[in-house]
């Protein structure tokens, strides 16, 4: 769905691993419960997806990272997650 352009966002759990990768800290400092919806992510401009353990990849612009409830039709869990907003395919 991402490759075809139907799915415009990807989700990652609010776990220490993704907090460290996206925010540079071990805890999600920004959340809706604290009145924030936009994360101060580490300044990434692109995101690259791999097809499993193959060498085949897709690269997209990263328009932003937010915390919230994603679209369940696109595979989002029911709790708050990091939402990676995807731009055009590169």
Distance (Å, whole) CA 83 – CA 10: 6
The pLDDT, as a whole number, for residue 11 is 95
Does any domain span residue 1? no
- Does residue 14 fall inside a structural domain? yes
What's the pLDDT at 9?
Answer: 95
Q: Is residue 4 part of a domain?
A: no
Within-domain flag for 85: yes
Distance CA(40)–CA(22), nearest Å, equals 9
Q: Which tokens sit at 14?
A: 């609010």
Please report where in the chains the tokens 């595979």 appear, as a residue.
75
The Cα 67–Cα 60 span in angstroms is 19
Q: Which one is predicted more confidently, 19 or 24?
A: 19
Domain count, the chain: 1
pLDDT computed for residue 17 by the predictor: 85
For residue 32, pLDDT beyond 90: no
- Domain containing residue 52: 9-89
- The pLDDT, as a whole number, for residue 27 is 60
Please tell me whether residue 56 adopts helix, strand or coil conformation: coil
For 39-83, write each residue's pLDDT tens digit.
Answer: 656 778 999 999 999 999 999 999 988 888 999 999 899 999 999
């Amino acid at each position: 769905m991402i490759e075809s352009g139907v799915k415009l966002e990807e989700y990652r759990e609010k776990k220490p691993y993704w907090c460290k990768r996206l925010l540079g800290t071990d805890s999600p400092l920004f959340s809706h419960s604290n009145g924030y919806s936009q994360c101060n992510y580490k300044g990434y401009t692109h995101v690259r997806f791999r097809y499993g353990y193959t060498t085949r990849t897709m690269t997209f612009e990263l328009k932003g990272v937010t915390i919230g409830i994603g679209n369940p039709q696109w595979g989002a869990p029911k709790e708050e997650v990091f939402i990676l907003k995807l731009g055009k395919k590169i």
